[in-house]
Structure 1
Amino acid sequence: MNPQVEKFLKLPLYQRALLLVGFNAAILGLCIYFIFLPQYKEYTSLVTKHQQVRDQLAKDQKIADNLPKFKAEYEKMNERLAQALTELPNAKEIPALLTNIATLARDNGLEVLQFKPGADAVKGFYADVPVGLKVVGDFHQVAKFFYDVGSLPRIVNIGNVNIGGAKIENNRLKLTVDCLATTFRFVDEKASQPAAKGKATK
C-alpha cells in the first residue's frame, strides 16, 4: 500500500473528512476558475450583444413604421417651400413688381415725390429689396395704398413710416409720407456662384 494512502487512513475520521472536503473544494474552485468563469463571461457578452441587436432592430422598426409619416411631412414641406417661392420673385421679376407699386400709388391719387430702390441685402436663399418712397396725399389715399400693397401676390412690407408736412389743399388735409417698402426676391445659388467666382478671380 502507498505510504501516503496508509498515512491518510490512519488519520482520525474528522481529519480525513476535512481533507476530502478541502480537496473537493479545490477541485471545484479550479473548475469554476478555468471552465465556468470563461464560459460565463462569454455568455454575458453574448447576452449583451443580443440585447443590443434587439434594441437596434426595435429602433429600425420604429423608423420603418414612421417612414410613411416622414414622407408625408417631407412632401408637405416641399409644398410649403414651393408656395413660399411663388411669393418670392426672382431678379427678373423685380422691375415689374416695383412698377406695380408705383402704379398703385398713382392709382390711389398719391403724388409720388420719391421712388428710390436701394441695394439688395442677400440673406441666404432670399434677398431684401428695399425701396424708399415719398408720397403726398390725404389719409384715406395713403391708407388705401398701404392696403393695396399688402394685397399684392408678392410679399411687400411697409415700414419706417414717417408722416409730416401736413397742409390744407382744396379743403383736404394733405400729408407727406416717407416710408420704406421692402419686397423680397429669390436668390438662385447656381446663378450667383459664377458671379461670385468671377469677382474672386479679378
Structure 2
Amino acid sequence: MKQPLAIILAGGLATRMGGGDKGLLPLGEGTLLSHVIDRIAPQVAGLALNANGDPARFAALGLPVLPDPVGGFVGPLAGVLAGLDWAAGQGAETVVSVAADTPFFPCDLVPRLMMAAQGMQVPLALAATPDGRQPTFGLWPVALRDDLRAALQDGLRKVVLWTDQHDARTAQFDAQGDPFFNVNTPEDLARAQAILEGAA
C-alpha cells in the first residue's frame, strides 16, 4: 500500500467554544492546528485541510483548503469525502483523516491503521480505544468515494454506519491516558495546555 495523504477535519461549527475555528486557538507556542500538523505530517505523503468559509484565514499554513463537497454541515464524512476527491486528483489510493481539535493523537497512527487494513482489497480502518471507535481517525480508500458521496446525498451522517457496511477494521490504541482527547470547551483547552506542560 502506498503512503496515504492526510485530511485534517476542521469543518465543524465549534458551537461549544462559541463558534469560530477551534484549530486556530492558541496551544503552547502554536495553535491546536499546528500541533495536529506537526504530528501527522511526518506520517503521510502530503496533507490538506477540510474547512468551510473563507480559506484565506488559513493561508499562513500553506495547505490546500477543501470545503465540504456536500452542503449543510453534514459532519465529518463530508470532510472525508473532500479529502478523497482531492486525493483522487493526486493519484493517491488512500487518505487518513485526523481531527483538528485533537492535538495528542498517536505518532504511529498511520502505520497502525495501514497494518490493520493489510490484505483488504479496499483498505478501510478506524482507530479505536477501549472506550470505542474514533470515527474521525481513519484510513479511507479513494475507490469508495462515489459510494460515500451517494450515501451522504441519501442522508447518511453516522461514520460507523457507513464503515460497517464496508467491513472496516479497527486499529486498537491502548496508550495511557486518552490519546484521542479532543478540545470542545474552554476547560478542555486549559487541560490540553496542562498536558503540554506535563502538569496533567
If the TM-score is normalised by the length of the shorter chain, which range does it land in? Answer: under 0.3
Bigger share in helix: 1
TM-score by length of 2: 0.21
**Larger Rg over CA atoms:** 1
